[in-house]
């Protein structure tokens, strides 16, 4: 049986919001596997969510830029938040975001693209040497419409077009900017807050849905109800998850009662021009990255051979 340390219990508490003893038991049941422990807590109704979007460990910046009917979002990571406030680093993120408008989503293509007489990768290498901290271009996404608008939004921007959560919304329509810009801004704010996993239910990752089905099955099986009732409970739980995590079916955060699809349809009807929410991108700094936190007391204890 895997040894469960206080540090592991603390990490699980931060991820799940569950109580200390429940976290300890979950880790024991999962033989120390953190993700499995989160799932165990969820099957017992002790953890509210599987998403870890609030635990963004990496530092750096998300850059957002729009030019005409094209937009790009780029995440550039650094080791510390201090570097994210560095003007040289901020200028680099802006430049890389501009490059992505032409280079597209492929990070290697972005690195190979020209910038100030060098390649982006060469400029990055120079920045690492002069700033004295490791940096990396993690991901990029470009959106484009043939007719309509790409609307940007940066939540709590640290500088123009730079922040820790960046959103782009692609609206295809012949409606004017006076309609599309405010609509796109509201939808982008919704996306920043609601963290949809896909544009619609058909776009949801099947592995994610299967994981939800497994959790729902275990929870429902503990109800003691007949198999046919359990099956319906599981189907209902998975459908609910899909509805709550697909952008078009999420309830609009501005009123918490109207599906986003209906908001878009009404805006198009009012404008007399159909509006299609074609795509979106939401980048949250460090999303999905786990970074070791420095704990001096733990380091001393480890050196002395003391378990913490």
Q: How far is CA 174 from CA 106, 186, 270, 275, in A?
A: 30, 19, 13, 8
Nearest to 24 by CA among 10, 35, 14, 36: 10
pLDDT in tens, the chain (308 residues): 578 898 888 888 877 777 778 888 889 999 999 888 888 888 877 765 444 333 333 799 999 999 999 999 999 999 888 888 999 999 999 999 999 999 999 999 999 999 999 999 999 999 988 888 889 999 999 999 999 999 999 998 999 999 999 999 999 999 999 999 999 999 999 999 999 999 999 999 999 899 989 989 988 888 888 888 989 999 999 999 999 999 999 999 999 999 999 999 999 999 999 999 999 999 999 887 755 444 444 544 443 444 44
Q: Is residue 128 within a helix (H) or strand (E), and if so which, with residue range?
A: helix 120-131
Distances in whole angstroms, Cα of residue 72 to Cα of each of 31, 67, 136: 42, 9, 17
CA distance 124 to 102: 18
Identify the structural domains of the chain with CATH numbers, from first to last. 1-50 (1.10.8.10), 59-198+261-284 (3.30.479.20)
Percentage helix, strand, coil for the chain under 3-state DSSP, each rounded to 5: 50, 20, 30
Contacts of 25 (CB under 8 A, 6+ apart): none
Evaluated on CA atoms 225, 226, 232, 238, the torsion sign reads: positive
What is 276-307 written as a DSSP string?
A: EEEEEEEEETTTT---PPP-HHHHHHHHTT--
Task: Give the C-alpha separation, 243 to 223, whole Å.
Answer: 24
Strand pairing partners for 135?
78
270, 175 Cβ separation under 8 angstroms: no
Tokens coding 93: 């993120």
């Amino acid at each position: 049986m895997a040894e469960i340390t206080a540090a592991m219990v603390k990490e699980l508490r931060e991820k799940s919001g569950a109580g200390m003893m429940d976290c300890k038991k979950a880790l024991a049941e999962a033989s120390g596997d953190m993700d499995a422990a989160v799932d165990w807590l969820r099957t017992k109704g002790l953890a509210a969510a599987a998403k870890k979007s609030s635990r963004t460990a990496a530092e750096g910046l998300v850059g957002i830029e729009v030019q005409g009917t094209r937009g790009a979002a780029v995440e550039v990571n650094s080791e510390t938040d201090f570097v994210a406030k560095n003007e040289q680093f901020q200028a680099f993120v802006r430049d890389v975001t501009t490059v992505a408008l032409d280079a597209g989503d492929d990070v290697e293509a972005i690195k190979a693209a020209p910038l100030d007489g060098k390649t982006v990768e060469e400029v990055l290498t120079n920045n690492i040497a002069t700033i004295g901290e490791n940096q990396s271009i993690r991901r990029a996404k470009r959106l484009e419409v043939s007719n309509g608008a790409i609307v940007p939004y940066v939540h709590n921007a640290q500088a123009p077009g730079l922040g820790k959560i960046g959103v782009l919304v692609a609206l295809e329509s012949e409606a004017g900017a006076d309609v599309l810009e405010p609509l796109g801004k509201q939808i982008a704010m919704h996306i920043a807050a609601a963290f949809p996993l896909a544009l619609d239910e058909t776009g949801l990752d099947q592995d994610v849905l299967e994981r939800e089905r497994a959790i729902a099955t275990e929870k429902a099986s503990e109800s003691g109800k007949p198999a046919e009732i359990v099956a319906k409970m599981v189907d209902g739980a998975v459908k609910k998850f899909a509805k709550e995590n697909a952008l078009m079916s999420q309830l609009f955060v501005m009123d918490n009662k109207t599906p986003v699809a209906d908001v878009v349809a009404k805006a198009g009807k009012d404008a007399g021009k159909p509006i299609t929410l074609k795509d979106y991108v939401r980048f949250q700094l460090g999303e999905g990255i786990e970074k070791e936190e420095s704990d001096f007391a733990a380091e001393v204890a480890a050196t002395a051979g003391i378990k913490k």
